[in-house]
Structure 1
Amino acid sequence: MSNKITLLLLTVFFSLSVFASVSKAEKEVLIKLNQATNGSKWTNKWDISLPMDKWYGVKVVDDKVVSINLKNNNLTGRIPVEITTLVNLRELNLSTNLLNGEIPLNIGNLKTLEIFDLSFNKLTGFIPASICTLPNLKVLLLDRNILSGELPQQIGKLSMLENLSLYENSFQGTLPVSFYELKSLKLLSLYTNRFTGKLSPSIGNLVLLENLNLFDNDFKGQVPVELEKLTHLKKMNISYNLFSGLVSNKLSLLDKLNMTMRNEAGNVVSLPVIKG
């Protein structure tokens, strides 16, 4: 009997030790985040003498950090790579700050991440390919940064993604073939980048799409008639691209600027509309 009690006590002690060490490790990562982003100048500062769940913008469940929301909190500097060790994170929102540098390459380590918002910063570099390995990601917001490069080829693996917003960056290249596999997508905003190439007829696969904004890019070729199949589509702006050819009256009316395009010479033209 005494052996059983001893074993039970050891198990409890070991369990508490594990939880304590996990909490300590995560606390060290948060302190690193605070130091790397000039925490003494934050609008809402942390008192690290308090428990972590009392720190501004931090949510802790079962001694695990599940959410960091430091939106509009005057963060400067770079995002520390150590943040990718917070494997229980469901939300990471560092938007509307003054962060620079690159998105951590190992961001794909955060397998439980659902919301990832780094919009309205000064980030540079590209979208890490590892981001495509986040099976639960629903929201990816990177707008208004200085990001560039092409979209990751395997972006279509983000099967849960509902909101993809990358506007006002310097992304380029064609949309990957896998892009058209994002069948959970409801909002797509890519405006004011330098995306090129033709928009595939497979755009019709995005059956839940409600808002499509490709304004001010370099897409060319025919406007896919498959857009008419998107029965949930309520808002669309694909103007100021290099699209050419005829468009249906339905699509023209749906577009915010009635299919006003640029031609190869840079002149503004309106696509001819098929009546009826």
Structure 2
Amino acid sequence: MKNIITLFLTVIFSISSLASIPDQEKKILLKLYNDTNGSHWNVKWDLNAPISTWYGVKIQNDKVVAINLLNNNLVGKLPVEITKLENLEGLNLFKNQLSGQIPENIGDLKNLKELNLSFNKLTGAIPNSICKLTHLTKLMLFMNDLSGELPSDIGNLKELEIISLFNNNLSGQLPVSLYELKKLKDLVLSSNKFSGQISWSVADMESLENLSLFDNKLEGQIPMNMTKMKNLVSMNVSYNSFTGLVPREIAALDDFNLTMLNQNGVAFQMEVAKEKKGVLAADE
């Protein structure tokens, strides 16, 4: 009798687990599975089992709040329907073989805190709607083939702590609003095609610890007032076309490299200021 009761409770629990997930969210997960060749994933989903047991899916209060399928051999395009998972807080699809573009309405994921689509084969521009993700703390899209400019309103993402977009084909000038990200700790934009100058407003990024801009097309002078950035530990801006003197405090940062490229693509070494001109210039 005891075994029968246990079996009955198990069945009831399984049924309730299946029923607790809204049908719409289940359909979206199935769309993701089918569109990315789920039958060939490294870790597959048992579609007959409760969704709460599906690998990489986190459910909280009967809603899908995170999808973590990194390095799982996802092949295909990211379905636009995924942007309807309105309670999603984390989306990590790092190191797969996703192609196509980032869904234009990615900004509909209002609760998203972490977005990692790095190390895939994504193309196209970073959608402007991404600037609606006001709770986002990590934006990681490195090692793709993304092009176009950074969205001009990226400064709306006040909670951002990490931006990592290296090894893409992004271009244009760094948006003015980028320098308004007071909580940003890591800004990694290396190996792209960014042009223009670093604004002196960079010194307003008071939390910045790591700045990597090497291998772009940036020019002008490295702002002298960067000597006031007390949390800045690591900086690499080599293989751009910066000119002028570099403050000693900046040149002493981890990973700093004085190698630049002139207009003919020939490497040269920037000079380090003999005196502490940085602080004086910043106070003018």
- Quote the Cα distance in structure 2 between the aligned partners of 1:257 and 1:151: 24
Supply the AA of the counterpart residue of 1:163: I
In structure 2, how many angstroms separate the alpha carbons of the residues matched to 1:93 and 1:191? 22
Q: Which SS does the other structure have where 1:105 is aligned?
A: coil
CA distance in 2, matches of 1:41, 1:226: 53
Residue 64 (structure 1) shift: 0.1
CA distance in 1, matches of 2:266, 2:95: 35
User: What TM-score do the two structures reach when normalised by structure 1?
Assistant: 0.91
Distance 1:220 1:20 in 2: 58
Tell me the equivalent position of 1:106: 105
Give distance in 1, aligned partners of 2:264 and 2:55. 52
Write the deviation string for residues 18-76 of structure 1: whole angstroms up to 9, x where unpaired.
x9586211011000000000000000000011111100000001110000000000000
How far apart are 1:254 and its partner, in Å? 1.4
What is the letter of the counterpart of residue 76 of structure 1?
V
Give distance in 1, aligned partners of 2:270 and 2:248: 11
The aligned residue for residue 47 of structure 2 is 48
Equivalent in the alignment of 2:3: none
- 1:255 shift after superposition: 5.5
| Runs of at least 4 residues off by over 3 Å | 19-22
Query: Is 1:232–2:231 an aligned residue pair?
Result: yes
Partner SS, residue 254 of structure 1 = coil
Residues 113-172 of structure 1 show CA distances to partners (whole Å, capped at 9, x for unaligned) of 000000000000010000000110000000000000000010100000000000000000
Asked if structure 2 preserves the Cα contact closer than 8 Å seen for 1:211 and 1:234, the reply is: yes
Residues 65 and 88, structure 1, Cα contact 8 Å, conserved in 2: yes
The Cα shift of 1:258 comes to 3.0
Give the counterpart letter for 1:161 in structure 2: L
1:201 is matched with: 200
Percent identical among aligned pairs is 53
Alignment pair present for 1:36 and 2:19 = no
Matches within 5 A, 1:51-62: 51-62=50-61
* CA displacement, residues 67-120 of structure 1 (integer Å, 9 cap, x when unaligned): 000000000000000000000000000110000000000100000000000000
Q: Which moved more, 1:221-230 or 1:110-119?
A: 221-230
Q: How does 1:90-105 map to 2 (within 5 A)?
A: 90-105=89-104
In structure 2, the residue matched to 1:6 is none
Q: Distance in 1 between matches of 2:257 and 2:58?
A: 45
| Whole-angstrom CA distance in 1 between matches of 2:96 and 2:215 | 25
- Unaligned 5+ runs, structure 1: 1-18
Whether contact under 8 Å (1:122, 1:145) holds in the other structure is yes
Q: Are the aligned partners of 2:134 and 2:157 in contact in 1 as well (CA < 8 Å)?
A: yes
The DSSP-based 3-state class of the residue aligned with 1:40 is helix
Question: Contact 2:173/2:194 (CA < 8 Å) preserved in 1?
Answer: yes
Q: Match for 1:274: what amino acid?
A: A
1:87–1:112 contact (8 Å) kept in structure 2 = yes
Amino acid at match of 1:187: D
* Separation in 1, partners of 2:256, 2:127: 34
Give the match for residue 7 of structure 1: none
**2:273 maps to which residue?**
274
Q: Give matches, 1:1-276, under 5 Å.
A: 23-254=22-253, 256-276=255-275
Q: Which residue of 2 aligns with 1:3?
A: none
Give the TM-score normalised by structure 2.
0.89
Residue 249 of structure 1 deviates from its aligned partner by 1.4
Q: What SS is found at the alignment partner of 1:30?
A: helix
